[in-house]
Chains A and B, each alone.
Chain A
Amino acid sequence: MRHIPKILCLVTLTLFLLIILQGATQHFEFEPLKGVYVSEEKPRFAFSDFVSGEWQGRVDRYIKDHHGFREPAIRLYNEYLWIAYRLSYNPNSIVVGKDDYLFEPWFVDEYYTGCFNHFYPDSLRILDNEKGDVFFQRMSRLAKLQYILEEQGVHLFLALLPGKERIYPQYLPAPSPQARHERMEQGLFSAYDHYSGWNSFYGFRCVDICHCFDSLRGHTPYLLFTQTGTHWSNIASTYAFDSIMRYMQTFGPAIRPVSLGNPYYADTREPDGDLEGLLNKAIPIPSERNQYVDVSLGDSIPGGNPSLVVIGDSFFWNIIVNYPIQELFSNFRYWYYFSTIYYDPDHENVADIDLVGELLSADYVMLSYCTVQLYNCGNGFINRALLELCYDPDEIQSVRDSLAADTTSRLSVDQRIDLHLEQYFPALAEDFPTQRSKKTRDTSITSHTSNTRATR
């Protein structure tokens, strides 16, 4: 046993060699880390870079990013942070709440401080006392757009979807949930507070799923949000869309009936755990079992299905996953954040579409936003639709050109139009603007318009 130090030294040396060899050969394969990460590319040697020390810096970063045990090393450290402190390695992206509930930080901010300002680019940052004005301006525009579209038989409405913070405030990290009431007593309101509180005053249609779910909070045996995901659960989204469809039929054409089965547990279906994935831990968080509901289609309706355009955030994906949307709606279009287009074989981006034509061929236009994304409701859709419905393209371009020629402003043309739309386009300042676009709704596609319609 005199050789123990020698053996230990040699084993140590072997371990070091193993690390180097693994780095060179990547012999052992590890599950890739989740999330976006830009790793250093293999640096090319240049003498000038060597002298300046830049090459060495890049080699150091390259080794750090590509050493053979990077993935397990990061998972080990993240696991340590989790076990010892219940910390997320990246608190700017994931916050750990009570009972291991995970949140994106903007949901927490929204609940406690209503700080939707967080999302504004610096150039558009507005003062606390101006926030309200911006939202009132937007709600007014939404009402005007609804009015114009309604004249053409197109039914626009807003669905306020709950964020995790609304349904499970008890799991939010400190401060206590009461802080939200304190905030509201101080007159600080979030985007959701504005849209839910003022929709009747402005007269735009709004279905508040947050309000529906508020009554379920603490009373339902169903898991409405998964512990480790950011989106609502399958069962929550299924019940929510059932309510939305019932709401739609109070003012628009009939929708093919559906029936919901009994809730059941299914371990085979993977629940939403996107936040846990981003934690890149070594050991999964034991989480609750998720319930699901099957949706069955009823009889077809005479005259065909109504058409639907949805403009919204990622919460609508859960509805698409759970509902046979394309069998309930003809010409279903999903304008994701009013940018990428899904379910349209001809177009990929909203920049390429004839917006007025698309809108006038729809029966329903749904703005679908969760509490945290409401700060930018429509993502530019409302302004663009109003402009294209009420102004000729040449007139719009002329204003844009004159704004572009003014280089004194630090804001972009779109940002200036957003802030002062009614100033640059006076027709939109009227309470009931007139559609000037020559396009009209093709009545042949609206065989079912005999259904009840709500008016402003």
Chain B
Amino acid sequence: MVLLVASIVFYAWGAPDFILILLASTVANYYIVRQMYRTERQATKKLWCALAITICLGLLAYFKYANFFVENVNALLEAFGLGTMTWTKVLLPIGISFFSFQSVTYVVDVYRGINKPMERLTDYVVYIIMFPQLIAGPIVRYTDIADQITAQRRLRWEECLQGFYRFVIGLGKKVLVADVIGRTVDVALGGDIASMDMGTAWITIIAYTMQLYFDFSGYSDMAIGLGRIMGFKFPENFDNPYTSASISEFWRRWHITLGAFMRNYLYIPLGGNRKGRGRTYLNLWLVFLLSGLWHGASWNFVIWGAYHGCFLVVERLLGIDKQRKSWRILPTFVVLLVGWAIFRIEDLPTCWLFITRLFSFDISGFALAEHPQYYATLLLALAFAFLTLFPFGKKLERWVFYTDYGNIQHIAVWLLACLLFIFCLSSLTATAFSPFIYFRF
């Protein structure tokens, strides 16, 4: 109950005008799914399931895509000289993309008979709006957490402490790395891109790549850490994605829970790889196109999704995804960098201009001496992002995240975590607040 109230207060704090919509849709879904579970007839069951999914995705479609749809229809109408529709813009409730998908996993997992529906309404509401991961994931499948929600939780000090460490690591990633890099990236991309030299363009997009990773994985770490403090084990969302040797591998390491959702609730229902090669490629491409659209109602996200989809299809065609070869890490990273340029720059002509600057071979005006904090932080970010390519990095990661600490280790790590926390607090106090990038999705 405490968690439920805290979650409602948390959401109301950020989006008070949407809390009722969130609660109403959650309650409606709870009862529809119960009704679906009780129904014996398969056809009726299907209808209940469709209704529940329509509510989840209907809200998402309305709040996230209505503006985009109307804008494009108006552009078409205008092109044919037919005037435009009048439309009051809809505001996007924060976290809607995440809690809509979690609701879908609940409906589908119960429909498929993987889990029973929740006995208590409060348990279900907690599952949907649990505050640590409500806004930006990880997307927790119902089947992964159903038992944890209903089970009697006991305060476990060891878990609390591990959760605190994880939370502080996430906070550090966000405040000390992503925000520092982001400030210079924003200035660079907000400036005159037409006259940007090639070196600055590459460094800017590499920096944005790191900003996005440390921002989003920082949030996931904080969510996982908070969850752990409260006695939940959320799934991991990142696994050193930039060490991937192919785009297929990247999607197994980046936003893992979204990838899993897309595979289980879209790719497989579309037929997966069971309907011939041509259909498999189409399914793959469609999944990534929609995955792009999920990120935002804008053409650049659609193109970004299609771009990734194309590379996945090509990799599947060439069999690249079957065998990992280290030399492919660099070309994969370059493909990702260009992709992130599409992801970051919404205005398509500007985006294209930026991509041309990446390959302009104009090396005039590159000034490395400026912004020492930016470059130092960027180097640090790159070192951490690629650390696990080396044996000692893997060892370090294993030790930090997967080792049961002894007392001395606990004291040492706790001291480090406290210092890191104080430093984060200091940075938060001294610098301007910058929201998480994935909040907008």
A interface with B by C-beta (< 8 Å): 1, 4-6, 8-9, 12, 15, 19, 50-53, 56, 60, 64, 67, 69-70, 72-74, 76-78, 80-81, 84-87, 89, 174
Q: B423 contacts which of A9, A72, A80 (Cβ < 8 Å)? A: A80
A64 touches B16 (CB 8 A): no
Q: How far is the CA of A198 from the CA of B372 in the complex (A)?
A: 42
| A69 and B428 form a contact (CB under 8 A) | no
Contact yes or no, A76 B426, CB < 8 A: yes
B373 to chain A, nearest CB (A): 5
Measured CB to CB, the nearest residue on chain A to B413 is A8
A12 interface neighbour in B418, B423, B425, Cβ under 8 Å: B418
CB pair B422 A53 closer than 8 Å = no
Known: A8-B411, A9-B164, A74-B429. A81 touches B16 (CB 8 A): no
The winner among B14, B428, B429 for most chain A CB atoms within 10 A is B429
B34 at the interface (CB under 8 A from A): no
The answer to whether A8 touches B161, judged by C-beta atoms less than 8 angstroms apart, is yes
- Given A8-B414, A85-B376, verify A53-B430 contact (CB < 8 Å): no
Instruction: Please give, as numbers and ranges, the residues of chain A lying within 8 Å of B373 by CB-CB distance.
Output: 81, 84-85, 87
A15 to B423: give the CA distance in the assembly, Å: 14
Query: Contact: B16 with A53, CB < 8 Å?
Result: yes
Q: Which residues of A contact B45 (CB under 8 A)?
A: none
Q: Which residues of A contact B17 (CB under 8 A)?
A: 51-53
Q: From A5, A15, A52, name the one whose CB has the most chain B CB atoms within 10 angstroms.
A: A5
A9 proximity list for chain B (CB < 8 A): 157, 160-161, 164
- The answer on a CB contact under 8 Å between A64 and B13 is no
Give, as a whole number of angstroms, the nearest-CB distance from A273 to chain B: 21
Collect the chain B residues with CB atoms within 8 Å of residue A85's CB.
372-373, 376
The docked-state distance in angstroms from the alpha carbon of A403 to that of B418 is 65
| B-side contacts of A6, CB under 8 Å | 157
CB distance from B102 to the nearest CB of A (A): 24
Which B residue's beta carbon lies closest to that of A65? B429
Within 8 A of A (CB), among B284-341: none
Contacts of B164 in A (CB 8 A): 9, 12
CB distance from B47 to the nearest CB of A (A): 37
Rounded to whole angstroms, the CA-CA distance of A72 and B411 in the bound complex is 25
What residues on B are CB-neighbors of A69 within 8 Å?
425, 429
Residues of A within 8 A of B423 (CB): 76-77, 80
Chain A residues near B411 (CB-CB < 8 A): 4, 8
Does B369 sit at the interface, judged by CB under 8 A?
yes
* Alpha-carbon distance A50/B423, docked complex (angstroms): 31
Q: How far is the CA of A80 from the CA of B423 in the complex (A)?
A: 9
- Given A4-B411, A52-B17, A77-B423, 5 more pairs with CB closer than 8 A: A12-B161, A15-B418, A53-B14, A77-B430, A84-B373
Bitwise interface map of B from 151 to 183 toward A, beta carbon under 8 Å scored 1, else 0: 000000110110010000000000000000000
Return 15 A-B CB contacts under 8 Å, by A number: A4-B407, A4-B410, A4-B411, A53-B16, A60-B433, A67-B429, A73-B422, A73-B426, A76-B423, A76-B426, A77-B426, A77-B431, A78-B430, A85-B372, A85-B373
Known contacts A4-B410, A8-B161; A84/B16 CB under 8 A: no
Given A12-B164, A50-B16, A53-B16, also A89-B410 (CB < 8 A)? no
- Chain B residues within 8 Å of A78, by CB: 430
Q: A74's contact among B407, B422, B426, by CB below 8 Å, is which?
A: B426
B407 to A, closest residue via Cβ: A4
CA gap between A433 and B224 in the complex, in Å: 81
- Interface pair A53/B15, CB less than 8 Å apart: yes
List B contacts of A73 (CB < 8 A).
422, 425-426, 429-430
Query: CB-nearest residue of chain B relative to A67?
Result: B429
Name B414's closest neighbour in chain A (CB-CB): A8
The answer to whether B429 and A56 touch across the interface, beta carbons within 8 angstroms, is no
Measured CA separation A85–B380 after assembly (Å): 14
Indicate whether B240 reaches chain A with its CB closer than 8 angstroms: no
Q: B388 contacts the other chain (Cβ, under 8 Å)?
A: no
B residues less than 8 Å from A1 (CB atoms): 407
**B residues less than 8 Å from A67 (CB atoms):** 429
Nearest residue (CB) in B for A71 is: B429
Shortest C-beta distance, A85 to chain B (Å), equals 4
Residues on A with beta carbons closer than 8 Å to the beta carbon of B184 = none
Cβ–Cβ < 8 Å partners of A4 in chain B = 407, 410-411
Contact across chains for A5 and B369 when beta carbons are under 8 A apart? no
Chain A residues lying within 8 Å of B273, measured Cβ to Cβ, are none
Task: Check B410–A51 contact: CB distance below 8 A.
Answer: no
With a cutoff of 8 Å between Cβ atoms, the chain A residues found around residue B410 in the complex are: 4-5, 8
**B429 contact from A70, A84, A174, Cβ within 8 A:** A70
Interchain CA distance A196-B281 in the complex, whole Å: 76
Closest partner residue, chain B, to A47 (CB atom): B16
